Amino acid sequence: MSEEVKWQHISVDEALALLETDRDGLSAEEAQLRLSKFGFNEVELKKKESSIHRFVRQFASPLIYVLLIAAFVTFLLREYADMTVIIGVVLANAIIGFIQERKAENALESLAKMLVPETSILRDGQRLIVASRELVVGDIVLLETGGRVPADLRLIYKKNLRIDESMLTGESIAVEKNTDVIEARNVPIAEQKNIAFAGTLVTKGNGIGVVVATAANSEIGKISELIKKTKKLSTPLVRTIDHMGKTLAFVIVLVAMLTFAIGKLRGLDDLDLFFASVSLAVAAIPEGLPALITITLAIGIKKMASRNAIIRTMPAVESLGSATVICSDKTGTLTQNEMTVRKIYTDEGMFTVTGQGYDPKGDIELNGKKIDPFDHRALLETLKAGALCNDAYLREEGGIDGDPTEGALLVSAAKAGNFYITRVDEVPFESEKRFMATLHQDDAGNSWVYAKGSPEIISKLSSMQFNGKDFSRMEPEKVLLVAEDMASEGLRVIATAYRKLERGKTEIEETDVDELIFLGLQGMIDPPREDVKKSIFKCNNAGIRVIMITGDHIKTAHTIARQLGIRTEGALAGSDIGSMTDEELIEALRSVSVFARTSPEDKSRIVGLLKQEGEVVAVTGDGINDAPALENADIGIAMGRSGTEVAKDAADMVLADDNFSSIVNAVEEGRDVYSKIQKVILWTLPTNAAEGLAILAAVLLGFAALPLLPLHILWINTVTALGLGVPMTVEPMEKGLLNRPPRPQNEPLLLPVIKRRIITVALLMVTATFLLYLFNINNGMDVSTSQTIALNTIVFFEIFYLFNCKSINENVIGQLFSNKYMLLGISVVIGLQMFITYNPAMNVIMRTSPIRLVDWVVIILTTSSIFVLIEFEKFITKKRSKKHINK
């Protein structure tokens, strides 16, 4: 029953009848019966996957399969050191993946912790304290200031009840609750004022509610279901590497089989052919590539952390660099989450207020010039009324205690001075009356009543208006027109008035809040962060679209978006989204970038449709309501300071400073990481291909002795990956990364220029190496020395080609020495090559032989040619490209 009823649409008595309860609560027996039938009031987590199963699943990758085959083959060859290196790489990648997958479970566990441990209820007419997990539908719950709501409640009584629902709705202002029936249909959560939602915080007053939904049926429970149903899709990098791994696996196996078949046709020995095929497979497998990619990502994570962006999953580094859309929450992300008075209207004119948030520093200006509030009596009395008719407090250390709206009024008053008169009575704010009044008495015994509330109500209660010098007849139409103009700018408008009463009065009577003297209007807003506008400009320049998705008012959201420079054609509310088909919403998304009064389902749906349209979507958020969208995005970004633990655990990245600008920095780092990964691949694949082709050429030409032994190949791949590949991962960032558009999602990791380079370099390396080997063998050189020359030739080709890979398209002559780690790595690799070439013990282990000085001269002249040729090719390509652009 409770799952089908829209409780906001029915009266209190109807709700109690449907739930078969009353205002005294359930009996203990009935509560126990319902608990056994419907279960505990707690978020049900997914059944956990066993750690062993999760770990084993990390090996389900084509590239890992190829590496495991290579390890098995090296085991058969009794090359145990080589096998250990390969297995180490495989295990390292598996462990990283295993750790990453804990985050989804953490998100749900944090969500469960949001439910309060104990709560006050009525059972059999008696007040009891029970564990919140034991609440059942029909229980009567008592709410008090500072407590969390333990379940979804239909309110049956309230007194000055205000609830902070920002973690659920994104609304920055605490909601004034009531018990009235809501007639309108399709009302968003933020406007269901007769419902108190599980996990939200009571900021003021008290109330009583009947439980209408617990556990999975509550709004917080529905969000947990969205998180559980959300399947985290792989990032662009993961998808690309997975595709490349499948392609490599297929090509390597196919070439190895062809090698065996061709050798068989040439009549070579089966055992020799087997070892040749194995050598070819080992040569072609880039066993160091996964490790180099992992290192590149890890370094990117460290650099992002230094710029306040904490990455929780490695592929998220590159994914953010590929982002085409950032869907951002407004409250606390684009704005400060601190209400601030921006405009004050009195009969003296329209004043503007400077300053930020709850910091009382700032000025009041009229016509662009700073003024002294004491020269403007109507302004001064307006500020005084806002400060006195107020229940909030300014903390000495900064910030406020109490309602954000009242806090903003205190701060605006503090910019003029200190106002204090003893309060002796009050009329608390109620949604039916829409105003608050307080009675004050000064030291001389004079009594004053101050009132604040909606402009409509305060103007009705006022008969006169103060202009700073004298009093004139109240003109409500004029005041309401000004209030409407202020509201159209996204401002929340509060009106103030006062009246002097007879001396010694200590109680407010109904007639005292009448015939008031109208003072003025104060318009406030949760202002944008100062540096966000610049960051959004950078996003626009980088080809990244910013979309605001918030639970706040549509006018406020649209105003903030305009101030920040978010490009949009109007704004849509959650009710509009709910009535749209997917096709209609996709069409709207092409021009609308502001969505207000949205539900968690709306936000997650928008993210899903953007991804469906081929966008790479980053989502920011800080509340529980953001968790499903954070999970569903290509990369979820949570706020580190203001964010809930649920949001942080659901996210891929956490901003340590809650600063939107840190996202832009992370985008730049992400693009740099992707660029480095391309460079690593550009350097790795041609060298592996050359080694494999050298083996293939030997078989095709019928050589009994291979130019490179499997041991030599593993040595090359291991030593160069560490000494040459790792320094590539710390190459300085290229300039202008944020001036480029995001790479298309379907763009292959292996760009045409990279494919062309791979073929060119591999053919050049294998041709030169094989010709040297062939020349030496034909001139009577022994096999071991010829193989040593071939081994060193390949290594020095990789050294010279490494310099080419500092940039894919640009000439690198001017930056050859920009990376000191690369120079150090090259020195280490050369030293190791000397060691295995001339050390007698290593000659035995590695099956190498000392070579002559003339051999080194030939090797250097031959291998350095690759640097000259590739740089020349870059120069010609760039020149042609410029000619094409000019045409």
Mind listing the domains of the chain with CATH numbers? Answer: 7-38+111-229 (2.70.150.10), 247-273+673-886 (1.20.1110.10), 319-335+530-658 (3.40.50.1000), 358-404+416-520 (3.40.1110.10)
Task: Give 795-840 as a DSSP string.
Answer: HHHHHHHHHHTT-SSS--GGGTTS-HHHHHHHHHHHHHHHHHHH-H
- Mean pLDDT, each 10-residue run in order, the chain (887 residues): 74 92 92 90 61 71 66 69 65 62 47 59 88 91 85 90 77 80 84 89 87 86 65 54 69 74 70 63 64 74 81 72 88 81 95 89 92 94 95 82 87 90 86 85 90 94 92 93 89 94 87 93 89 89 92 84 92 91 95 89 91 90 75 84 69 81 86 88 85 76 74 80 86 85 78 89 91 91 95 96 92 88 95 96 92 96 95 89 63
Distance CA 4, CA 194 (A): 17
Q: Report d(CA 534, CA 528) in Å as an integer.
A: 11
Residue with tokens 């004022």: 193
- Show the CA angle centred on residue 764, arms to residues 761 and 770, nearest 5°: 130
- Candidates 45, 26, 38, 29; CA nearest to 1 is 38
Nearest Cα to Cα of residue 491 among 331, 329, 341: 341
Cβ(724)–Cβ(675) below 8 Å: no
Q: Is 727 strand, coil or helix?
A: helix
Catalytic, out of 82, 139, 329, 552: 329
Helix, strand and coil content of the chain, in percent to the nearest 5, comes to 50, 15, 30
Residue type, 818: S
Which residues pair with residue 36 across a beta bridge? none
Q: What is the chain's length?
A: 887
CA distances to 328, 347, 365, 383, 787 from 495, in Å: 32, 13, 19, 11, 91
Helix axis angle, 236-265 to 270-284, nearest 10°: 160
425 Cβ contact partners less than 8 Å away, ≥ 6 residues apart: 438, 439, 506, 507, 508
Would you call 184 exposed, middle or buried from its count of C-beta atoms within 10 A (0-12, 13-18, 19+)? exposed
In the block, residue with structure tokens 């002796």: 424
**End-to-end CA, the chain:** 72
Pick from 374, 405, 307, 352: nearest CA to 653: 307
Burial class (CB in 10 A: 0-12, 13-18, 19+), 861: exposed
CA dist., res. 149 & res. 311, Å (int): 33
- pLDDT on residue 212: 94
pLDDT in tens, 336-364: 778 899 999 999 999 999 988 888 889 99
Q: Which residues contact 475 (CB under 8 A, 6 or more apart)?
A: 465
Per the annotation, the verdict on 401 as an active-site residue is: no
Q: What DSSP string runs through 223-266?
A: HHHHHHH---PPPHHHHHHHHHHHHHHHHHHHHHHHHHHHHHHT
For 234-291, the pLDDT digits (tens) are: 555 656 666 666 776 677 777 777 777 777 776 666 656 666 666 666 666 665 676 6
pTM above 0.85, yes or no: no
- How many other C-beta atoms are found inside a 10 Å radius of the C-beta of residue 126? 10
CA-based nearest residue to 650, from 94, 99, 109: 109
